[in-house]
Structure 1
Amino acid sequence: MLEHPLPSVEDWVLLFTNNSLPVLRLTRRRLDDMRADIDRVDARDLAKVILQDPIMTVRVLAYIQPLRGRSLQHDITTIASAVMMAGIIPFFNRFNELLTIEEQLSDASPQALLGVLQIIRRAQRAADYAQDWAIWRQDVNMEEVRIAALLHDLAEILVWCSAPALGLQIQAMQKANPGMRSADAQRQVLGCSFQDIQHALCGAWHLPDLLRELIDDDHADHPRVRNVVVATRLARHSANGWNDPALPDDFADIGGLLHLSVEAVRQRLGLSPHPAREAGD
C-alpha cells in the first residue's frame, strides 16, 4: 500500500497499468460460478455481472482493444460485444484467479475498505440512474451511457485501492473544509486530480473515443454526456442523504435533461412530494 503520493500523473498510470487491478469479491465469486457451468454461459450473462463492477468493466474494455484488429471499422463500446469478440473460453482463461479489492485492502484500516466500497456503490447507483434516463430519452445505446457513469470516478476508486491512506486524507480534508472543491483537495494531497489520472489512463488503455468523451465533463453540452454528469452528481450528493443542499439543483438539472418537472423527477426517484409552501413563504 502506498503511504505517499507518486511524483507525477505518469507514475500513477504506470502503477495502474503494470499491476493487476483488483475486482469486487462478489464479481470473482459470480465469475467462478459461471466458469463451473461454462456451457450454459453466454455474453449477456457475463455482461450483467461485469457491468456491476467498475474495475472489471475497464479491465475487459482494455483487454479487448488490441484484439480488434484493423479489419474492424468501429470501436467496441459494450461489454457483451467485447466478450463475444474475445470468446467465452478465452475470456475465462484471461480473467482467472482474480485478485479482489477485499484481499488487497485486508491489511488496511476498516475505514479504507468501507471508503472504497462506498465509492463503488455510488458508481453503481450513478450507472443505474444514467441507464434509466438513457432509456427514457430513447438513447440508441444505453449501455454506453451506463458504462460511462460507472467509470466516471474510476481513478478515485483505483487510488483508494492502492493508496487508501491518501484517500482517507482527501476525505478528511473535505470534511474539515466543506466549501473546498474536490479537485483542490485531491491536488493538495496527490499533486494532481483524479480527473488528471483518469484522462491519462483512458489514453494508456486506448479506450474508445466515444467512452472517453462521455466520461469527460468538459463535453457536458452534449445530452448524453449531461446524462452521465447529472447521474454521477445525484449519486454523489444523495450518498450524503436526501437532504443534501445540492440536491434541488440536481433535480432541476435532471428535469431539464428529461423534460420533466422537478416533482416528476422526485416521483421517478421514489421520493415523497415536496411539501407545499405556506402562504407568505
Structure 2
Amino acid sequence: MLAQPLPDLAAWSQYLTGRPIPVLPDTAEELSLLAEVEDRHGTVDAHLIEEAIGDDPLMTLQVLAHVSRHRAQRQVTDVDTVTAAVVLMGIGPFFKTFSPLLVLDDHLDAHPHAVAEIRRRIRRSWCAARLVTEFALLHAEGHASALQKAALLHGHATLLLWCHAPALAQAVQDRCMQEPTQDCRHHERAVLNIELSALEHQLARDWRLPATLLRLTDPDDAHSQVLLQPQRRLLEIALTLADRLDREGPQATPTLEELDELSGLLTLSTPSVQRLFENTLA
C-alpha cells in the first residue's frame, strides 16, 4: 500500500495504471462459475459475462482499459460496453486474461473502513447510472450506453486511491470533514499534490478509455461541451442527485431548479419528472 504521496499527476497515473484493479466478491464468484460452465459445456456468451459483471465499476474499468490498450491499430471504433469487449476478445481469452481476479475484500482485509467506503461510493455510482439511464431513454438519447458507463465509472480515481493508498484517502476524507467550508480540491492538493478529478481524466486518457466517455466528462474539452451539452448536463444532474441522496438519505429530492431544467430537457411536466425520480429509485 502506498503510504506517501507521489509528486505529480504523471507519477500518480503511472502508479495506478500499473496496479491490479480489485473487483467485488460477487463479480469474482459469478465469473468463476461462468468459467467452469465454459470449460465443461462451452455455452457461455458475451451477454452472460456482461450480466455477471453487472454494475461493478472496478471490473468494468478493468475490461474496458484492457481492450482499449490492446486493440489493433486497424480498429477505429471504440469499444464502450463489456459485451462488445468480450466479443472482441473471445470467451476463452477473456477468462484466461481475467483469471485469477484480485478480490476487493481480500486485498483490503486489513482496511475494513476502506472496503466500506468503496462500497458506499459504488452504491452512489449505481444510483447515478440508474438515473441517467432513465433520463437518456426519455431523451431518445443515442449515447445512453455511454452515459450509463460514464456515471458508473465516475469517481474511479477515488476508488483506486482507497484500493491502493487507503491511508492517504482517509487523510483527504478527514480534512474534508473537518473543514467542510473549504473546497475538497484544496485538501486533495494538500495531501496528494494533485486533484482527484484531474487524476481521473489522466487515467482515462492513459488507459485510452472510449472517446465518448472522455468527451462526456472532460471539463477541458470545450468542443464537446457545446456538441454534447444536453448529454453532459443530464450526466451532471444525475451525479448531483446521487451525491445528495448519499449525503441526505431517502428524503433528498431534486431542487425546483433541477426539476424545471429536467422538465425542459426531457419535455415532461415537472410533476412527471418528480415521479420519474421517485420511481427510478424506489
TM-score by length of 2: 0.87
Q: What is the aligned partner in structure 2 of residue 145 from structure 1? A: 147
Percent same amino acid at aligned positions? Answer: 31
Q: Which stretch of the first structure deviates more once superposed, 222-231 or 210-219?
A: 210-219
Q: What is the aligned partner in structure 2 of residue 204 from structure 1? A: 206
1:182: Cα distance to partner?
2.9
Q: What is the aligned partner in structure 2 of residue 5 from structure 1? A: 5
- Relative to structure 1, the CA distance from residue 145 to residue 177 in structure 2 (aligned partners, 3 Å threshold; closer, same or farther) is same
Q: Which stretch of the first structure deviates more once superposed, 259-268 or 76-85?
A: 259-268
1:67: Cα distance to partner?
4.0
Structure 1 position 174 matched with structure 2 position 176: yes
Aligned equivalents of 1:81, 1:149: Cα separation in 2: 19
1:51: Cα distance to partner?
4.1
Q: How does 1:122-271 map to 2 (within 5 A)?
A: 122-217=124-219, 219-220=224-225, 222-240=229-247, 241-243=249-251, 247-270=255-278
Q: What is the aligned partner in structure 1 of residue 68 from structure 2? A: 65
| One-letter amino acid matched to 1:134 | A
Q: How does 1:96-111 map to 2 (within 5 A)?
A: 96-108=99-111, 110-111=112-113
Structure 1: runs of 5 or more not aligned: 272-281
SS, match of residue 269 in structure 1:
helix
- Relative to structure 1, the CA distance from residue 248 to residue 28 in structure 2 (aligned partners, 3 Å threshold; closer, same or farther) is farther
Aligned equivalents of 2:8, 2:148: Cα separation in 1: 30
- Relative to structure 1, the CA distance from residue 258 to residue 7 in structure 2 (aligned partners, 3 Å threshold; closer, same or farther) is same
| One-letter amino acid matched to 1:197 | L
| One-letter amino acid matched to 2:7 | P
Q: Which stretch of the first structure deviates more once superposed, 34-43 or 78-87?
A: 34-43
1:243: Cα distance to partner?
4.4
1:53: Cα distance to partner?
1.2
- Relative to structure 1, the CA distance from residue 253 to residue 193 in structure 2 (aligned partners, 3 Å threshold; closer, same or farther) is farther
Structure 1 position 89 matched with structure 2 position 96: no
Q: Which stretch of the first structure deviates more once superposed, 253-262 or 10-19?
A: 253-262
Q: What is the aligned partner in structure 2 of residue 277 from structure 1? A: none
Q: After superposition, give the CA deviation of every residue in 1:198-253 in whole Å (9 maximum; x if it has no partner).
A: 11111211122211111224555511222222111111111112445985554444
1:58: Cα distance to partner?
1.4
Q: Which stretch of the first structure deviates more once superposed, 51-60 or 217-226?
A: 217-226
Question: 1:67 touches 1:86 (CA, 8 Å); kept in 2?
Answer: no
- Relative to structure 1, the CA distance from residue 26 to residue 126 in structure 2 (aligned partners, 3 Å threshold; closer, same or farther) is same
Structure 1 position 40 matched with structure 2 position 48: no
SS, match of residue 278 in structure 2:
coil
Question: 1:43 touches 1:80 (CA, 8 Å); kept in 2?
Answer: yes
- Relative to structure 1, the CA distance from residue 261 to residue 2 in structure 2 (aligned partners, 3 Å threshold; closer, same or farther) is farther
1:167: Cα distance to partner?
1.9
- Relative to structure 1, the CA distance from residue 34 to residue 244 in structure 2 (aligned partners, 3 Å threshold; closer, same or farther) is same
Aligned equivalents of 2:3, 2:257: Cα separation in 1: 37
1:46: Cα distance to partner?
1.4
TM-score by length of 1: 0.88
Q: After superposition, give the CA deviation of every residue in 1:87-142 in whole Å (9 maximum; x if it has no partner).
A: 0110000000101111111112x322211110111112111111121111111242
- Relative to structure 1, the CA distance from residue 176 to residue 242 in structure 2 (aligned partners, 3 Å threshold; closer, same or farther) is farther
Aligned equivalents of 2:51, 2:76: Cα separation in 1: 26
- Relative to structure 1, the CA distance from residue 114 to residue 128 in structure 2 (aligned partners, 3 Å threshold; closer, same or farther) is same
| One-letter amino acid matched to 1:232 | L
1:83: Cα distance to partner?
0.8
SS, match of residue 77 in structure 2:
coil
